[in-house]
Structure 1
Amino acid sequence: MIRKAAKLAASRRVASSVLMKKNFNNLSCFSSVFINRYTPVVKIREYSTRSTVIQLLNNIGSKREVEQYLKYFTSVSQQQFAVIKVGGAIITQQLPELASCLAFLYHVGLYPIVLHGTGPQINELLENEGVEPDYSDGIRITDEKTMAVVRKCFLEQNLKLVTALEKLGVRARPITSGVFTADYLDKEKYKLVGNITSVSKIPVEASIAAGALPILTSLAETPSGQILNVNADVAAGELARVFEPLKIVYLNEKGGIINGNTGEKISAINLDEEYDDLMKESWVKYGTKLKIKEIKDLLMHLPRSSSVAIIDVNDLQKELFTDSGAGTLIRRGYRLMIKSSLEEFAQTDLLRAALNRDPEIASGKKSAASYLRELETIPFKAYGDEPLEVLAIVKEDGDIPTLDKLMGSKNGWLNNVTDNIFNAIKKDYPKLQWIVREDDPNTSWYFSKSEGSYAKNGYILFWYGLQDPQNLMKLISNFSYKVSSNLTSTSIGSHPSSQQIRGYSTLISKRCYSTQTNPNPPIREGSNSGKSKVALIGARGFTGQNLISMIDKHPYLELTHVSSRELKGQKLQGYDKSNIIYDNLQVEDIKKLENAGEVDVWVMALPNGVCKPFVDAIESSKSSSGNSKIIDLSADYRFDETGEWIYGLPELNSRVAISNARKISNPGCYATAAQIAIKPLVEFASGRPSIFGVSGYSGAGTKPSPKNDVEFLSNNLIPYSLTDHIHEREISSQLGLEVCFTPHVAQWFQGITHTISIPLNKKLTSRDVRNIYQERYAGEQLISVGGEVPFVKDISGKHGVVLGGFAVNAKQDRVVIVATIDNLLKGAATQCLQNINLAMKYGEYEGIPDDLVIRG
Structure 2
Amino acid sequence: MQSLARPAYRQLARYVRHTERSLASFTVPATSILPRRRHYATSRRPLYDDGSARSAVINVLNNIASKREVQQYLAQFTSVSSQQFAVIKVGGAIMTDYLDELCASLRNLNQMGLFPVVIHGAGPQLNKMLEKAGVEPEYKEGIRITDGKTLGIARKLFLEENLKLVEALEAWGVRARPITSGVLMAQYKDKDVYKFVGEVNDVQTASVKAAIAEGYIPVLTCMAESVDGQVLNVNADKAAAELARALVPLKIVYLSEKGGIHDKETGKLIEAINLDEEYEGYMKKPWVIHGTRSKIRDIKTLLDDLPRSSSVAIIHPESLERELFTHSGAGTLIRRGTKLQQATSIADFDDLAKLKQTLVRDREGLDSKSVVDRYLESLKDREFRAYYDENFEALAIVLPPTEGKPPLAHLATLTMTRSAWLSNIADNVFQSLKRDFPKLAWTVKQDDENLTWFSEKADGSIARQGEVLFWYGIDSPEEVRELMSDFVQHGRQMFGDTNLESQLHRAAAAAQRIRSGAAKLQGMRQQATAYHTSALRPQLREPKQVEQRRGYATTNPNPPLGIKNSEKNYPAKVALIGARGYTGKALVELLDRHPNMDLCHVSSRELVGKKLENYKKKEIIYESLSPDDVRRMAEKKEIDCWVMALPNGVCKPFVDAINESGHKEAVIVDLSADYRFDSSWTYGLPELVQRNKIASATRISNPGCYATAAQLGIAPLLDYLAPQPAQPTVFGVSGYSGAGTKPSPKNDVNNLADNLIPYSLTDHIHEREISSQLGTEVAFIPHVAMWFAGIHHTISLPLAKSMASRDVRQLYQDRYDKEKLVKVSGESPLVKNISGKHGVEIGGFAVHSSGKRAVVNVTIDNLLKGAATQCLQNMNLALGYGEYEGIPL
TM-score (norm 2): 0.49
Whole-angstrom CA distance in 2 between matches of 1:846 and 1:123: 53
Q: CA deviation at 1:554?
A: 4.5
Counterparts of residues 331-342 of structure 1 (less than 5 Å): 331-342=335-346
The answer as to 2:97 corresponding to 1:89 is no
What pairs up with 1:504-543 in 2 under 5 angstroms? 520-522=577-579, 531-534=588-591
Aligned residue for 2:53, secondary structure, equals: helix
Shift of 1:54: 0.9
CA distance in 1, matches of 2:397, 2:327: 29
Alignment of 1:405 onto 2:413: yes
Could you give the per-residue CA deviations for residues 761-795 of structure 1, whole angstroms, max 9, x where no partner exists? Answer: xxxxxxxxxxxxxxxxxxxxxxxxxxxxxxxxxxx
* Partner Cα distance (2:101, 2:215) in 1: 22
Among residues 490, 494, 508, which one is paired with 2:536 in the alignment?
Answer: 494
* Structure 1 residues 348-497: aligned runs within 5 Å: 351-352=355-356, 354-356=358-360, 364=368, 366-375=370-379, 380-394=384-398, 399=403, 404-408=412-416, 409-411=420-422, 416-426=427-437, 436=443, 479=494, 493-496=535-538
**In 2: Cα distance, 1:165 partner to 1:461 partner:** 42
CA distance in 2, matches of 1:357, 1:163: 55
- Cα offset for 1:346? 4.3
Distance 2:31 2:303 in 1: 44
Instruction: Note closer, same or farther for the CA distance 1:505–1:85 as it changes in structure 2 (3 Å cut).
Output: closer
* 219, 229, 240: which one aligns with 1:215: 219
Deviation at 1:527, TM superposition (A): 11
Check if 1:290 corresponds to 2:332.
no
Contact kept, 8 Å, 2:576 with 2:602, in 1: the verdict is no
**1:304 matches 2:355:** no
Q: How do 1:766-845 and structure 2 match up within 5 A?
A: none
- Partner in structure 2 of residue 832 of structure 1: none
2:159 equivalent to 1:117: no
Aligned residue in 2 for 1:192: 196
Provide the rounded CA distance (Å) in 2 between the counterparts of 1:193 and 1:648.
59
Q: Deviations over 1:389-417 (max 9, x none)?
A: 54333458964786543445535788632
Deviation string, structure 1 residues 320-353 (Cα, Å, up to 9, x no partner): 4566644443221123322234454345565345
1:712-791 equivalences in 2 (<5 Å): none
Partner of 1:272: 276
Q: Note the C-alpha offset of 1:173.
A: 3.4
Quote the residue 1:552 is aligned against. Answer: 598
**CA 1:464–1:237 in 2, change beyond 3 Å: closer, same or farther?**
closer
1:160 to 159, 164, 171: 164
For residues 444 and 576 of structure 1, the distance between their equivalents in structure 2, rounded to whole angstroms, comes to 35
Residues 464 and 134 (structure 1), Cα distance of their counterparts in 2 relative to 1, 3 Å cut: same
Query: Contact between 1:405 and 1:491, CA under 8 Å: does it hold in 2?
Result: no
The one-letter amino acid paired with 1:84 is: I
SS at 1:303 equivalent:
coil
1:236, distance to aligned residue in structure 2 (A): 1.1
CA shift, 1:306, in A, is 1.6
Deviation at 1:836, TM superposition (A): 6.5
- Kindly indicate whether the alpha-carbon contact (under 8 Å) linking 2:386 and 2:397 is maintained by their aligned counterparts in 1: yes
From 148, 160, 165, the counterpart of 2:152? 148
Q: Which moved more, 1:384-393 or 1:241-250?
A: 384-393
C-alpha separation between the residues in 2 aligned to 1:378 and 1:314?
47
1:182 corresponding residue in structure 2: 186
Q: Would the aligned equivalents of 1:254 and 1:312 in 2 still touch at CA under 8 Å?
A: yes
Cα distance between partner residues in 2 of 1:297 and 1:36 = 47
Tell me, in whole angstroms, the C-alpha distance in 2 between the residues paired with 1:498 and 1:664: 50
Q: Does the 8 Å CA contact 1:268/1:415 hold for their aligned counterparts?
A: no
Output the amino acid matched with 1:193: V
- Report the Cα distance in structure 1 between the residues aligned to 2:461 and 2:697, rounded to whole angstroms: 38
How far apart are the structure 1 equivalents of 2:47 and 2:173? 14
SS of the equivalent of 1:330 reads strand
Is the 2:162–2:219 contact (alpha carbons within 8 Å) kept by the matching residues of 1?
yes
Deviation at 1:117, TM superposition (A): 1.2
The Cα shift of 1:84 comes to: 2.0
Counterpart for residue 781 of structure 1: none
The alpha-carbon distance between structure 1 residues 359 and 267, as it changes in their structure 2 partners (threshold 3 A), is farther
What are the ranges of 5 or more consecutive residues in structure 2 without an aligned counterpart? Answer: 1-23, 503-525, 549-573, 604-614, 619-643, 646-681, 713-771, 776-866, 881-889
Given residue 543 of structure 2, which amino acid in structure 1 is its aligned partner? I
Question: RMSD of the TM alignment (CA)?
Answer: 6.1
Residue type at the aligned position of 1:531: V
In 2, the alpha carbon distance for the partners of 1:172 and 1:48 equals 11
Work out the number of aligned pairs and report it: 555
Is 2:88 the partner of 1:52?
Answer: no
Say whether the 8 Å CA contact 1:307–1:331 is kept in structure 2: yes
Q: What is the TM-score of this pair, normalised by structure 1? A: 0.51
Q: How far has the Cα of 1:52 moved from its partner? A: 2.5
Amino acid at match of 1:405: T
Summarize the Cα distance change of 1:283–1:455 in structure 2 as closer, same or farther, 3 Å threshold. Answer: farther
Question: Contact between 2:530 and 2:543, CA under 8 Å: does it hold in 1?
Answer: no
Distance 1:656 1:355 in 2: 49
**Where do 5+ consecutive residues of structure 1 fail to align?**
1-28, 507-516, 537-546, 558-574, 579-599, 602-630, 641-645, 667-732, 737-834, 849-856
Does the C-alpha gap of structure 1 residues 211 and 379 become closer, same or farther in structure 2, counting only changes over 3 Å? closer
User: In the alignment, residue 50 of structure 2 is paired with which amino acid?
Assistant: S
% identity of equivalent residues: 38
- Paired residue secondary structure (2:543): coil
Given that 1:249 and 1:310 are in contact with CA atoms closer than 8 Å, whether structure 2 keeps it comes out as yes
Q: CA deviation at 1:244?
A: 1.0
1 CA distance for matches of 2:190 and 2:253?
28
Q: State the distance in 2 between where 1:387 and 1:497 align.
A: 26
Q: What is the CA deviation profile of residues 545-578 of structure 1, one whole-angstrom value per residue up to 9, with x for unaligned ones?
A: xx954x1365459xxxxxxxxxxxxxxxxx9948
SS at match of 2:125: helix
Q: 1:505 to 1:182 in 2, by over 3 A?
A: closer
Separation in structure 2 between the aligned mates of residue 53 and residue 105 of structure 1, nearest angstrom: 11
Question: Quick check: 389-398 or 179-188, which moved more?
Answer: 389-398
Letter in 1 for 2:430: D
